[in-house]
Amino acid sequence: MSVDVGAAAPAFQLLDQDGETFDLAAQKGRWVVVYFYPKDSTPGCTVEACDFRDNFRRLEAKVAVVVGISRDSAKSHRNFAEKQSLPFRLLVDDRTEVCQLFGIWKLKKFMGRESLGIVRSTFLVDPKGKIARVWSPVSVKGHVAEVLAAIP
């Protein structure tokens, strides 16, 4: 399954690093940046998270909510968020249900080996709950600037 621009964003609820529920449907009226990343505290994921952190006020000014999603545990997310001073929520998708809803749980090749994993991807959900933009796979450098430019 894949999620296309113009389609309704898949509904989901996930727990964040503090055990609080994030419900995408409850965000209507706001832009939502849903970004999927492979693993807490790894080099590319840290650069991406810190870029969202460094631009967080600019995103908030555009009435945008940012959430990061990976398979990591709440404890791992909490440690990552604290270490990097992340002001946004990191959501736990340990069973890959939301990754599969968004079509980013795929067979990947790395150093000659194949395995299922998260394809780094970002979905911009408009205030009506529709997919406005999709970046998949994401190239980390300059990505957050692209996301900011896509939000009116």
Coil/strand/helix, residue 134: strand
Rounded CA-CA distance 85/90 in Å is 12
The vertex-79 CA angle with 138 and 55, nearest 5°, equals: 45
Which are the contacts of 28, defined by CB distance < 8 A and separation ≥ 6?
A: 127, 128, 129
Is residue 45 among the annotated active site residues?
yes
Tokens of 98: 């939301």
Indicate which residue of 45, 65, 81, 92 is catalytic. Answer: 45
Residues noted as catalytic: 45
